[in-house]
Chain A
Amino acid sequence: MLTLDHVTYRYPNTERPALRDLSLTIPAGQFCAVVGANGAGKSTLAYTLAGFVPHFYHGTLTGAVTVAGLNTASVTLADLVRRVGLVFQNPYNQISGTKFTVREEVAFGLENLGVPRAEMLERIAATMQLTGIAALAERSPLTLSGGQMQRVALASVLAMQPQVLVLDEPASQLDPIGTREVLAAVQALAASRRITVVLIEHKLEWVAAFADRVLVLADGALVADGPPAEVLASDVLLTHAAGQTRYTQAARLARAQGGWPANQPLPVTLPQAVAAFQAARP
């Protein structure tokens, strides 16, 4: 679980806040997506939840960030790293670059935490299985494709068994089926281990399919918060250039041309679109 209470943040030497007066609570086990245009504050929010703001980036943080029971400003990054896992947008920023095999890379965080050897081996095997990289175990991380590297980055964080998992576009280089597999694995973990998941994602079809809740950020502020079917179909996304699924776009265009009943909600997923277009059949 995590809570933000009137959180405002400015990077060093900047006037404009990157986050503006954010207040929200995400309960344990919830899969929450964050969407918005580039520059809206999504990655800054991810850094804030993981404690990189303010411990690494410094700057001015006001309000309180509580993650897995810890006030992030009053503990160290070392305290946070046991509880909060952050998967970076660019997997090359995640991996140590010092390991010869994928297995060693996944072990790296556990070694730093001093996890006993037997447990470490067990966790590594389970995590590689879950993220679909078991067959890559003996490969050098530096020979992997971008998509394979993203799976390794995710595995290295999941192996640490964080209570809160923050994912910054974790599947941007994965093929479509790979993306579905990885997000389904994360969703299953959220449900079975009550992990709080915060997913930053531009591809709204994935958000619609996997998230329990969607937050929309614009210019550092929270402008919408609710279930995907409601938020992703709303005009707020258009106002703030956060995008729409092609299903929603098609329904909007059909509505503009008189081919959509006035009271019919706009679809955001494929099953919703199939049902809605059947019902709206001219």
Chain B
Amino acid sequence: MDIVLEALTHTYPGGVTALQDVSFTLRAGEAVAIVGQNGAGKTTLVKHLNGLLLPTSGTVRLGETDTRRRSVAQMAAQVGYVFQNPDDQLFQPTVAREVAFGPHNLRWPAARAVAATAAALEAAGLTAVADRHPYDLAPSERKRVALAAVLAMETPIIVLDEPTTGQDYAGVARIGGLVDDLIAHGRTVITVTHDLDFCAEHFARVIVMGQGRVLLDGPARAVLAQADVLAQTDVEPPQLMRLAAQLPWGDAPLPLTVADFVATWIGRS
């Protein structure tokens, strides 16, 4: 199912216009990262994807239907949204019950709900802490509980708002692997992130936002190379692109991953 944004503008009740005339289509199965400075409108934008916010003007369509015509509950079955701050999301007394809440609420048969819960706990690396209280866990683990709770609902579209915040090296790698896996299974994954290395390694398409508008939208390699446009919105290219830019790189493709970088570097000998 595609998500189509047409001339989306959003003005908050206080009068701040967070999004201005934003148009693009997120196609089913795409991995899309949204980057940009603090206050660029990234979170406001993704909150429109599951109907948490509705446009002040313009439209957001999920498939054929305008999000204004769907309830938040209907949207939740299609679009899973993992909040930036897990404490905005968690409310159950154990990790397992938190993760099982979505499947239960969707009134799935018990066998399917149990299987989905177990798979989500495993994918988020939480099986060992399934019986603990979410608030007894470290913030980084709590963040993965919020992620698992959304994974368990098996929505075709998943939105991750700053998924790597507070995660260690292994945690970031785990979330990256999970994104790759979701994409391999045909799901749509949309993330908001400040981690440009994570973005380069796992997201094929990058949308750059600044002051409520789309500054760039295209394949990661082409978008992330435009250091001057990224700088307008307080973003820097990923580490290896900055490195390649200062080395004799010729017209070889700019590196998105460590393997890309080394293959090109060694290949030039």
- Pair from one complex: yes
Chain B 31-68, CB-CB to A under 8 Å as 1, else 0, gives 00000111100010000000000000000000000000
Given contacts A37-B168, A147-B38, A178-B38, contact A282 B262 (CB under 8 A): no
Q: How far is A247 from B37 in the complex, measured between Cα atoms in Å?
A: 24
B231 within 8 A of A: yes
Provide the residues of chain A in CB contact with B197, threshold 8 Å: 246
B162:A259 contact, CB within 8 angstroms: no
Number of A positions contacting B (CB below 8 A): 44
Q: How many A-B residue pairs have CB under 8 A?
A: 126
B25 within 8 A of A: no
Q: How far is A131 from B265 in the complex, measured between Cα atoms in Å?
A: 40
Given contacts A38-B168, A172-B165, contact A282 B39 (CB under 8 A): no
Q: How far is A241 from B168 in the complex, measured between Cα atoms in Å?
A: 8
Q: How far is A270 from B248 in the complex, measured between Cα atoms in Å?
A: 15
Interchain nearest-CB distance for A253 vs B (Å): 5
Chain B 11-23, CB-CB to A under 8 Å as 1, else 0, gives 0001000000000
Interchain nearest-CB distance for B197 vs A (Å): 6
Provide the residues of chain B in CB contact with A176, threshold 8 Å: 194, 196, 234-236
- B165-180 with Cβ < 8 A to chain A: 165-172
Provide the residues of chain A in CB contact with B231, threshold 8 Å: 177
Provide the residues of chain A in CB contact with B262, threshold 8 Å: 250, 253-254, 257, 259
B141 within 8 A of A: yes
Using a CB–CB distance below 8 Å, which chain B residues touch chain A?
14, 36-39, 43, 84-85, 87, 138-141, 162, 165-172, 194-197, 231, 233-236, 238-240, 242-243, 246-247, 258-259, 261-262, 265-266, 268-269
20 residue pairs bridging A and B, Cβ less than 8 Å apart: A38-B170, A89-B166, A92-B85, A92-B87, A169-B166, A172-B165, A173-B194, A177-B235, A178-B37, A178-B38, A202-B166, A241-B168, A246-B238, A247-B240, A250-B243, A250-B258, A250-B265, A274-B247, A282-B265, A282-B268
